[in-house]
Chains A and B, each alone.
Chain A
Amino acid sequence: MSIWISIIIAGIINYLTRLGSILIFKPSKMNDNTKQILKYVPSAVFPAIIFPAVFLNQDGNLVQLADPKVVAISIAFLIGILSKNLVITILSGLISFWTILFLL
């Protein structure tokens, strides 16, 4: 039972984190600085999900630079800069990852 209650409470809190600022923030009352900073939200949040998933192993230790994940994400990064295309970036990362894993 406590599992269900935990999940429901976590679900409610998770929902409130989504609703909270949509309700609280009033666009007309936002100053320029705030608007400027908010432009950086994707660049500030997403790397915090990317880096540990790539550079740390399951025990939380740094992986080697030659790790397939590190090499593949670096290739995807470069392709991303060159192509500015989401699909090409994902495909280049996956193809290089699996090439390293299975062919090299």
Chain B
Amino acid sequence: MSLKFKIFLRGALDVLPLMIPVVPFGIIFGAIGIELGFGPYVTYATSIIIFSGASQIVILQLLSAGASPLISITSSSVVSTRHLLYGAVVSQHLGHLSMYWKVGLSYLLTDQAFAVSNEYLKKNSENKFKHYHLVGSGLTLWFIWQATTIIGIFLGSIVPDELGLTFTIPLTFLALLVNYLRKTDHLIVIILSGVSSIFFFDAPFKSYIILSSIIALFGALILIKIKKK
């Protein structure tokens, strides 16, 4: 087995636990698209074209509620701006790659792939094939997301609401923070971001995610300065 393939497989395996929440999320998304009246083609197309659960839900919800395309696109895009931060983080490990690689890998940079592969990239910074980890995690998520969207489109209506499967979404993101929960500085940043998101929840264009992230990163900057003194 070549080293590249081993790292690819490692990425695919590392992301597997996240299927526990991603599978129901995909099914819920497929069901929501149909419920909002978009039909199977449009609903499924968003999973290929946008490939970002939160942004997909936002644009379909707004369009179906009668919001203008401009407002719907803006809100969905503002929700996506967090990827700019993920890109900045992984760019530290992808600097050596060609433009083609960067163009391809970017499409796979989802929340989950970022969280899982960033840990690997940090620990294996000397390995020149380390980016295959992101290919493994990203492609695995891509296939599961496509498959579960389709399942949701056709079978979503039989998944009972009572199961409360939407709870898996915040639960996944909490689990992705598991390595940081014991660190006081990170815990302060986590609370700062969380409280800000509640406070700014009604900010226009769903900007509370990026607003809270920036506030929390400012908090992190202050913590770094205090530590240095």
**Assembly CA distance A44 to B185 (angstroms):** 11
What residues of B have a CB within 8 angstroms of the CB of A86 in the complex?
17-18, 175-176, 178
- B87/A21 in contact, CB under 8 A: yes
Q: With A21-B88, A49-B170, A80-B178 in contact, do A7 and B49 touch (Cβ < 8 Å)?
A: yes
Shortest Cβ distance from B53 into chain A, in angstroms? Answer: 10
Q: Which of B141-149, B150-158, B161-169 contacts A (4 or more CB under 8 A)?
A: B161-169
The 25 sampled A-B contact pairs (Cβ below 8 Å) are A3-B38, A8-B49, A10-B50, A10-B73, A11-B49, A11-B51, A18-B83, A18-B87, A19-B106, A22-B105, A37-B224, A40-B185, A40-B220, A43-B180, A43-B189, A44-B85, A44-B220, A47-B216, A48-B212, A53-B167, A73-B170, A73-B174, A76-B174, A86-B18, A94-B167
Q: With A27-B95, A47-B197 in contact, do A18 and B212 touch (Cβ < 8 Å)?
A: no
Report the interface size for chain A: residues with CB under 8 A from the other chain. Answer: 71
Verify if B54 is at the interface (C-beta below 8 Å from A).
yes
- A48/B174 in contact, CB under 8 A: no
Verify if B217 is at the interface (C-beta below 8 Å from A).
yes
Verify if B140 is at the interface (C-beta below 8 Å from A).
no
**Assembly CA distance A38 to B177 (angstroms):** 15
- B69/A42 in contact, CB under 8 A: no
What residues of B have a CB within 8 angstroms of the CB of A30 in the complex?
92
The chain B residues found within 8 Å of chain A, CB to CB, are 17-18, 20-21, 38, 42, 45-46, 49-52, 54-55, 59, 63, 69, 72-73, 76-77, 80-95, 99, 102-103, 105-107, 109, 111, 114-115, 118, 162-164, 166-182, 185-186, 189-198, 201-202, 208-210, 212-214, 216-217, 219-221, 224
- A55/B198 in contact, CB under 8 A: yes
**Assembly CA distance A12 to B193 (angstroms):** 28
Shortest 8 CB-CB contacts between residues of A and residues of B: A21-B87, A11-B49, A44-B216, A51-B194, A47-B194, A19-B106, A40-B220, A48-B212
